[in-house]
Each structure stands twice: as structure tokens, then as C-alpha cells.
Amino acid sequence: MSDTSTDTGLRTVDGQPLKKALSAAQAKARRRAFLLVLPLLAFVIVTFIVPIGQMLHRSVYNADFTIHKDFGTREITPIMTNLSAWFDANLAGTDPDEAAFAALAADLVVLRELRAPGQVGTRINYEVSGTRSLFTKSARRAERLEPPYKEALLDIDEDWADPALWQAMRGASSPYTANFYLAAVDLARDADGSITQVNDNRKVYVKLFWRTLLLAALITVLCFILAFPVAHLLATLPLRYSNLLMIFVLLPFWTSLLVRTTSWIVLLQSQGVVNDILVTLGIVGDDGRMQMIYNQTGTIIAMTHILLPFMVLPLYSVMRPIDPSYVRAARSLGASSWTAFFRIYLPQTAPGIGAGALLVFILAVGYYITPALVGGSSGQLISNLIAFHMQGSLNWSLAAALASLLLAGVLILYWLYDRLVGIDNLKLG
């Protein structure tokens, strides 16, 4: 009975059941839509997902300089295998005995043959300074070493008895390690393998993280204070005038970031335009010129100017559709101007405020060029230190760990925004 009713149901012109034809049409539409977005999806995967995945992997994996038996990805002959075996057979905190020094001496011979003592020394130098030269000079004399190897190596350099050095080598004996994340939050492992705080003169990263977050928050607040009246003016003016003023808001996007940043150097330096005007007006003396560049002040001023359009545009996008009759109705019912503004107008701009604040804050925490040029030593952000480890110290794993923590902070910010405001209310334009 059911088969008969199905056969006698609605059909298309070519005789197919209507339900089957609709399903086929929907499947075809989905395939067409997927093919249309496939180039964009591939682009996002190649340029965004894959690099982030590599960064996360690099933050816990250091194959290029490890002393593990699977040394690197360059198919180099296994090195430091004897010392790795000793570490595997002895618990952390075990004092190196004659067998440990014998294994080290044998591996130093292999290092010299492979011309790799500098590479291994550089890897260990990330945690214990001065070890690159220690490895290179010991490897040059490794073939002439004779038992007892402990005394022979200590004759070359007494630093071979340093427990911190052996703990660093133990940590490097495996390509996967969390030590870079520990270093990124000013922690380290002692000779027993326990996690401890580093010395006060080496506590750098946590301080920079806090400075980055505080400066980014301050810049976000300043951008909001400056952008709100500008966006309100653009939203309330007639369209022909607001479009003209919008050109001035968009004008910075047509100017090089480097040009805008160096322009602030000219304006804010001690002999710059701003100080010259203040001296001319008698506000400050010629010997009391203000230092507004190469410090946090320069970073705040320059970055606020550069990021201001990113706050104006989201605010303008939500202010433009607001019907002015709402505020007039509140005024007619007895509300004061401030009450009408705070209870009627301002809540309607919340999606734009949230979007602008989120956009400016995220851009600020990752900014690099402007703090590097105008920040000096006190205006540097965590991004500048990440760049230093990528380009200067070549400690890419530590740079990846710092960048991963920064990425985690941004994701937490997204989560908080979604819980408090709702990501569906995000209005970017």
C-alpha cells in the first residue's frame, strides 16, 4: 500500500519523484558551493592553518639542535647516542659518574667528525650560557682524551661539572620538551629536574607579557575615547558631508605604515615639532624639553593614531542605522540628555564597541614595527622579543612558545567576548 502511494506521489517533468529530485538538487548545490569556496579554503589552510600548526609543533620540538639519536631531519648520522643512553638509564638528579663522562667523551669524538659541536653547543646555550665554546674546544681535544674521562674533561673546563649543564643536556636528549614553554614564563628546571623560578635578572618574559596586555588595553581605551565622537559625527551628518569626512578616516590606510611611524619620530623627538611649539609658547623651557619618543609614551601615541580607524569604522557601522527618533522620544518622556544617551543610544552601539575593542586590542598585542621604531627599551612589546629570537638569537623554539602563549591569550579573549557579549553580535561593518 505504501509503495503504491509513493509511486503515485508528486513527480517532476521527467518522471522522477519530487523528493528524490529535491535531494539531488540540494546535493548538487552543496557540491557547487564547496567547489566555489575550495580555493579560499586551500588558501586558508596553506597560509594560516599549516603555519600555526608548524609553530605549535616547533614550540615543543627542537630537531635542528637536539642531541637525541634522531638528530634533526637532515639525515645526519646519529650523534650523542652514548650520552642519551646514559640519561635513559639514570634518573634526573643523578650525579654524572665516570660512565657518564666516558659516554660524553665518545660522543664528542662523533661531534668532531660530523663538525656539529657548534650546533649542539648552541642548543644547550639556550639554557646555559657559554656552552657553545665549551663544546667546540672540548670536541677539538676529544680524540686525545684518555681515562679517567671525568678528570680529563674537567681539565679542559671545570664547567663540565656544572649540574645545570647536565640538566640542560638531559632535557635536550629528547626532541620533545616543554622547557621552551617554561622559559617563556620565566621558569626553568634545576639540577633535580624540579621547576623553579629563574633569577630575578633573567625574568623578562612575564614582565613583557603584562606590559603588552596593559599597553594594548590602554591603547584600546584611548582609541574608543577618540573614535566615539568621530563616528557619532559621521553617523549624524548628511551623507554628502559624512562621505567627505570618511576620506580623512580612510586616508591612513593609503599611507605606508613605516611613513606614519617615522613621521611621529619627527614630531615627538626632543628637537621635534611638538617640543618646538611648546618651547615657543613658553609652556616648557628649552632645557626642559619632554622625552616623548623611544619610550612607552611614543609607543602609545603612535599606535593609538595607527589603530584609530579600526575603532571608528565598526562604531560608524552600528551608529548609522540608529534611528534618532529613539533619543527624541526619550527626551520627550522626561529623560535628560545624559540619561537618553546612556540608556537609549549607548546600548545600541555595544556591538560596534565590542568589535572595535576586540579588533584594536588584538592588533595592538601583536604589533611589531611601531614599538620597534618608537618604543625604545621601555616601549617594547612581546612581539619585538619574538622577532629577536627569530632573527637574532635564532632560538626559533622559544619564539614559537612565546607566540603560542600569545595566540592562547587571544583565543581566551575571543572566548570571553563570546560569553559576555556573544560573537553573533560582532559588527565589523
Domain 205-425 in CATH: superfamily? Answer: MetI-like (1.10.3720.10)
Closest CA to 70 of 175, 161, 160: 175
Query: What's the confidence (pLDDT) of residue 285?
Result: 84
Residue 2 confidence (pLDDT): 45
Angstrom distance (rounded) from CA 167 to CA 190: 7
**Is the separation of the CB atoms in 25 and 14 below 8 Å?**
no
* Per-domain residue ranges of the chain: 2-58, 81-202, 205-425
Check residue 6 and give its pLDDT.
Answer: 46
pLDDT in tens, the chain (429 residues): 444 444 456 777 777 788 888 888 899 899 999 999 999 999 999 998 999 998 888 888 865 444 444 444 333 345 678 888 898 898 888 889 999 999 999 989 988 888 888 888 887 887 788 888 999 999 999 989 889 999 999 999 999 999 888 988 887 777 788 888 998 999 887 767 788 888 888 888 999 999 999 999 999 999 999 999 999 999 988 888 888 888 888 888 888 888 888 899 989 888 888 888 989 888 888 888 888 888 899 999 999 999 999 999 999 999 988 888 888 898 888 888 888 888 888 889 988 898 899 999 999 998 888 898 888 878 889 999 999 988 888 888 889 999 999 999 889 988 888 887 776 666 555
Of 255, 373, 265, 361, the closest CA to residue 307 belongs to 361
How many other CB atoms are found less than 10 A from the CB of residue 164? 15
Enumerate the β-bridge partners of residue 11: 17
Predicted pLDDT of residue 117: 87
Distance CA 130, CA 308 (A): 46
Distance of CA 87 to the CA centre of its chain: 34
| Residue 422 CB coordination number (10 Å) | 11
Count CA within 13 A, CB hemisphere, residue 51: 7
Distance between CA atoms of residues 384 and 365, nearest Å: 11
Condensed to tens digits (0 to 9), the pLDDT of residues 308-348 reads 999 999 999 999 888 888 888 988 888 888 888 888 888 89
| Confidence (pLDDT) at 9 | 67
- Alpha-carbon gap, residue 62 to 57, rounded angstroms: 9
Q: How far apart are CA 113 and CA 109, in angstroms?
A: 6
Cβ of 175: how many Cβ atoms within 10 Å?
19
Quick one: pLDDT at residue 69?
41
**306: burial class by Cβ within 10 Å (0-12, 13-18, 19+)?**
buried
pLDDT of residue 427: 57
pLDDT of residue 75: 37
Note the pLDDT of residue 76: 37
The identity of residue 400, as a single letter, is: A
Nearest alpha-carbon partner for 62 in 50, 73, 76: 73
